[in-house]
Amino acid sequence: MLDWSEYEKIVTQILNRKISHNENPPQNQAISSPKNQSLFLVAGPGSGKTTVMVLKILKFIYVDDVPPSSILATTFTRKAASELRSRILSWGDEIRQYLLNDKQYSKIHPKLKNLDFNQIITGTLDSISEDVLRTHRDPGSPPPVVIEDFVASALMMRVGLFKEDRYHVKDLKEFLVDLRGTSFNFNVAEMAKLLL
Ligand SMILES: Nc1ncnc2c1ncn2[C@@H]1O[C@H](COP(=O)(O)OP(=O)(O)OP(=O)(O)O)[C@@H](O)[C@H]1O
Ligand SMILES: [Mg+2]
């Protein structure tokens, strides 16, 4: 849709992010590199990793014409994943609004109106894996879930403690009571919690 110099100019003026070769050579190099080139960036805390990732993704869309549905962006925590998504959506839309208001770009207006940034897949590695497994499971089979606290504790009781009446085992009980410091209200659920 755009060439690199147009994109660079819009990012600098509209998003107020400095990515020109003169002002920020490493970010310029990272964001402008061709789409078929793998990239491995090492950067410290607060150095602009999320900024670069978002501007790189928007460059794929605006400069390289990559469809949003073929882009997957992931990170480790839910908080970071949601920050990533909201930055892509807001910056993506700011650029779009700017282009839609400028007659000079009327040729690409129909394309811009059809752009759906929501199709970009974002999430943590766990949540994306869960989605893929849910979508591609055998018909009729239950959807998989990531084991969280509640399921983990139910499994610990069912498989770990009720099986072969392990919750009656004297040594195990004594060990856990000792660990806990008191036998007050000591029950199977408490045992499961301590074991986990
Ligand atoms: N090219 C740029 N021009 C202007 N400001 C920038 C640029 N790159 C990063 N910043 C600013 O620097 C700050 C940190 O950027 P960013 O959040 O992208 O870093 P990060 O490496 O992802 O941080 P963290 O380690 O906390 O995840 C932000 O306020 C961001 O707006
Ligand atoms: Mg970040």
Residue 140 lies in a domain: no
Residue pLDDT, tens place only, 67-120:
999 999 999 999 999 999 999 999 999 999 999 999 999 999 999 999 999 999
Q: Which atom of ligand 1 is nearest to the CA of 17?
A: 3
Residue 163 belongs to domain spanning: 149-195
CA triplet 29, 47, 68: central angle to 5 degrees?
Answer: 60
Domain boundary among 90, 112, 135: 135
- Number of separate domains in the chain: 2
Pair (99, 35) in one structural domain: yes
The answer for residues whose C-beta is within 8 angstroms of residue 190's C-beta and 6 or more apart is 176, 180
Ligand 1 pocket, mutate which of 51, 54, 79, 87 (most atoms under 8 A from CB): 51
Would you give the distance in Å from CA 9 to the centre of its chain?
A: 28
User: Does residue 50 line the site of ligand 1, with CB under 6 A?
Assistant: yes
Helix (H) or strand (E) holding 121: strand 121-124
Pair (112, 20) in one structural domain: yes
Pair (91, 52) in one structural domain: yes
Helical H runs in 25-108? 25-32, 49-62, 78-100
Here the CATH number for the domain that contains residue 110 is 3.40.50.300
What gap in Å lies between CA 18 and CA 12, rounded to an integer?
5
Residue 142 lies in a domain: no
Confidence of residue 143 (pLDDT cuts 50, 70, 90): confident
Q: Does residue 148 register a pLDDT over 90?
A: no
Residue pLDDT, tens place only, 102-114:
999 999 999 999 9
- Average pLDDT of the residues of the chain: 94
